[in-house]
Structure 1
Amino acid sequence: MSAIEKVEVLVTGAGRNFVTLRITTSDGVQGLGDATLNGRELSVASYLRDHIAPLLKGRDSTRIEDTWQYLYKGAYWRRGPVTMTAIAAVDMALWDIKGKVVGLPVYQLLGGKSRDKVLVYGHASGSDLPSLIDDMTEFRERGYQAIRAQMAVPGMGGTYGVRKGAIYEPAAADLPDEQLWSTEMYLKFAPDYLGKVREEFGFDFHLLHDVHHRLTPIEAARFGKDVEPMRLFWMEDPTPAENQETFRLIREHTTTPIAVGEVLNSIWDVQHLITNQLIDYVRTSVTHAGGITHLRRIFDLAALYQVRSGSHGPTDLSPVSLAAAVSLDIAIPNFGIQEHMVFAPETQEVFRGYPQFAAGYVTPSEAPGLGVEYDDAAAAKFPYDPKYLPVARRADGSLHDW
């Protein structure tokens, strides 16, 4: 038995705030897991350090499934982003260890390659149409074959998805940034600029757009119908997913594909959406949905209903998360697409060896395990810096979904 001997919770502000779990076995093998929950990072750090770490010491590191069930069922309080992110970190670290012990990359332990490379999409944005076109041009020149387009709605300077610099970072220090939102302005404006993107670049690449939970079901149905001529790869999170039956209304009114799931944390959260074929892509992430073990279950269920994967993968998830996601992407039969963003230089200094981009695709590392190493000395240079994601308010001052 290779017993778990040491459990460390590592917090760094290297470009973004990250929480990393490092497990060391009695044989000296180390595994990494991502435990980052943007804006609530320390809640997961405490959950791991104060509640899970004491349970892990002395356990057999090879019993990944049993450990997952132990942490999920044993807590009694199930699901939710904090619990599932903490369990995910343990799960990733144990898969990393197992791969290192047998000398194989994790994807080989999941059945090997179902494809040679993983299609990814980038994030183009602009404060106006000329800057969006310039950004789209840059992404096309870099080889991206799938690009998400987001543009600032005039009069709403804090429009979601628009970068302020080279790296997208919506979170801010102190209190959350309060941003103005108008659904009416968005519904009038977004289909127009997406149409202009197609006019400029044509249809020989995949165009995506993130609604970011902003619309009611009937508004989302109208939006989906308006953008049908643009042939979107998907419209992402068109309406909040708490009342999932409402997606049937959207489905009945538009053929624009629907992607949902980045804020959902378990197979039970997406079961209705998948089994009723109310979505086309499930976007649950390896970090927030219970790790490799549980995300594989979600994707296997989705495969039965012709729903494909589209894993959430922004830069507020660490390179460990990207490596774990790509390990699944390369192995599952119903892969769709993988979100991909360029990590900040500080992040790349701390995390080394993650999957690299080339000509619109990424490929997993061939190193044993997940292939990512954590540099403690580099991490120490970047202390944790508390930040909050923005909130949105309508013109009358009431809160809206951000």
Structure 2
Amino acid sequence: MKIVDARVIVTSPDRNFVTLKIVTDEGVYGVGDATLNGRELAVASYLTDHVRPLLIGRDPAAIEDTWQYLYRGAYWRRGPVTMTAIAAVDTALWDIKGKVAGLPVYQLLGGRSRDRVLVYGHAQGSTVAETVAEVGRYLDAGYRAVRAQTAVPGVSGTYGIGSDGDRYEPASAGLPEETRWSTRNYLDHAPELFAEIRRVHGNDFDLLHDVHHRLSPIEAAGLGKALEPYRLLYLEDPTPAEDQTAFRLIRQHTTTPIATGEVFNSIIDCQRLITERLIDYVRTSVVHAGGITHLRRILALAELYGVRSGAHGATDLSPVCLAAAVHVDTAVPNFGIQEYMPHTPATDAVFPRSHWFDNGHLHPGDAPGLGVDIDEEAAAEHPYQPAYLPVARLHDGSMHDW
């Protein structure tokens, strides 16, 4: 069996997705997600202009060799564009291997470690009361874990707050939206939210919160300390993670569990965080970290140090990536939790799939391969729409981490 074609499909059913479809001479094909939110066409070009010629004629079964070929052969290693492109190839090859074997991908990864995958939903509101009510709605729907975000007084465009209760999509048409940020207002406000959630809904479920890289290490340490009474499952991205040693300071001051890694691209990005036990959950996704092959390496290292997975799973990842994530989640022994945001009906129509949601959990299904496909005719009805993520400035006009 040989690869005879590799097509890059860009579509925008309510938001932009990039999908790689690898086709073999025996008619078996696989799909991989190549979406990089706000920089989608960079990956599409990388795949079309630089990777596709390298794939034609290769053995699709040689997944590890292909991964090494694309990673080492590029010389300019790592980075989100390169690793997202490699992820698309890798995920598509796993899909092909599963179809050829007649097995779902999780069986190829060692079989089930669990019967179902715990997920968390996103509760949001313009006020504390609205978010508290949204938490209740998720609990009533069967979720046992909820991420809570609320608008901050005096802060425009707070991260995590959108107009749709199930989906928060910050990317928008035109030039990037400029938002304002006040760390003081946020640190005063956030503990009030979680005190009220626990007062109203009790302790019999997991709570999560995303800081979105906005605090300094000492500010994050203070927030973690303030939130300890509310027993968060984890505090996500409390500080920018380029400096992995910054998490040492947070660890010295709080026992609130810490999660980070959705913007990581390789095992190097989180090696120290894991081996020094500076985090509790690594949130790296299949699509941004070189695919299933490389994510398994990250999670195998994490297992040695008691760090669990908490993979990114917002709607900036296509159903192809979500399917791949659920297969990995099902198989790895150190699974923690999976982020989950339902896609829109338009997206679901473009990406038919066999995985399903039920009572706060995802199930991978038993279809061979990933169990997800792309309807190319439906995809063609949704042309690419340029969109950018927002940027953040402080009240004096200086740039801040969004």
TM bracket (short chain): over 0.9
Residues in 2 aligned to 1:143 and 1:23: alpha-carbon distance in whole angstroms: 37
Q: Which residue of 2 aligns with 1:276?
A: 276
8 Å contact kept, 2:156–2:181: no
Please report the TM-score for the alignment, with normalisation by the length of structure 1.
0.99
Q: Which residue of 2 aligns with 1:304?
A: 304
Q: Which residue of 2 aligns with 1:15?
A: 14
8 Å contact kept, 1:320–1:354: no
Deviation at 1:354, TM superposition (A): 4.3
Task: Name the Cα RMSD after superposition.
Answer: 0.7
* 1:74 equivalenced with 2:73 (yes/no): yes
8 Å contact kept, 1:353–1:373: yes
Q: After the TM superposition, which residues 349-364 of structure 1 pair with which residues of structure 2 at under 5 Å, given as runs?
A: 349-364=349-364
Q: Which moved more, 1:7-16 or 1:351-360?
A: 351-360
Q: Which residue of 2 aligns with 1:321?
A: 321
Q: Which residue of 2 aligns with 1:90?
A: 89
Q: After the TM superposition, which residues 12-51 of structure 1 pair with which residues of structure 2 at under 5 Å, given as runs?
A: 12-51=11-50
Residues in 1 aligned to 2:319 and 2:354: alpha-carbon distance in whole angstroms: 6
Report runs of 4+ in structure 1 exceeding 3 Å deviation.
none
What secondary structure is seen at the aligned counterpart in 1 of 2:331? coil
Aligned letter for 1:275?
Answer: T
Q: Which residue of 2 aligns with 1:250?
A: 250
Q: How many residues align?
A: 401
Deviation at 1:169, TM superposition (A): 1.1
What secondary structure is seen at the aligned counterpart in 2 of 1:233? strand
Deviation at 1:157, TM superposition (A): 2.9
What secondary structure is seen at the aligned counterpart in 2 of 1:204? coil
Q: After the TM superposition, which residues 127-138 of structure 1 pair with which residues of structure 2 at under 5 Å, given as runs?
A: 127-138=126-137
Q: Which residue of 2 aligns with 1:368?
A: 368
Q: Which residue of 2 aligns with 1:200?
A: 200
Q: Which residue of 2 aligns with 1:158?
A: 157
Percent identity over the alignment is 66
Deviation at 1:134, TM superposition (A): 2.1
Q: Which residue of 2 aligns with 1:100?
A: 99
Provide closer, same or farther for how the CA distance between residues 132 and 216 of structure 1 changes in structure 2, counting only shifts above 3 A: same
Q: Deviations over 1:153-183 (max 9, x none)?
A: 0121300001212431111111100001000
Q: After the TM superposition, which residues 332-347 of structure 1 pair with which residues of structure 2 at under 5 Å, given as runs?
A: 332-347=332-347
Provide closer, same or farther for how the CA distance between residues 288 and 354 of structure 1 changes in structure 2, counting only shifts above 3 A: farther
8 Å contact kept, 1:15–1:345: no
Residues in 1 aligned to 2:132 and 2:234: alpha-carbon distance in whole angstroms: 20
Residues in 2 aligned to 1:165 and 1:269: alpha-carbon distance in whole angstroms: 33
Please report the TM-score for the alignment, with normalisation by the length of structure 2.
0.99
Q: Which residue of 2 aligns with 1:187?
A: 187
Deviation at 1:324, TM superposition (A): 0.4
Q: After the TM superposition, which residues 217-236 of structure 1 pair with which residues of structure 2 at under 5 Å, given as runs?
A: 217-236=217-236
Residues in 2 aligned to 1:28 and 1:36: alpha-carbon distance in whole angstroms: 25
Q: After the TM superposition, which residues 111-122 of structure 1 pair with which residues of structure 2 at under 5 Å, given as runs?
A: 111-122=110-121
Q: Deviations over 1:123-172 (max 9, x none)?
A: 00000122212211211111010000000001213000012124311111
8 Å contact kept, 1:292–1:328: yes
Provide closer, same or farther for how the CA distance between residues 354 and 218 of structure 1 changes in structure 2, counting only shifts above 3 A: farther
Aligned letter for 1:103?
Answer: G
Aligned letter for 1:299?
Answer: L
Unaligned segments of structure 1, at least 5 residues: none
Q: Deviations over 1:2-21 (max 9, x none)?
A: 10001000000012100000
* 1:388 equivalenced with 2:388 (yes/no): yes
Unaligned segments of structure 2, at least 5 residues: none
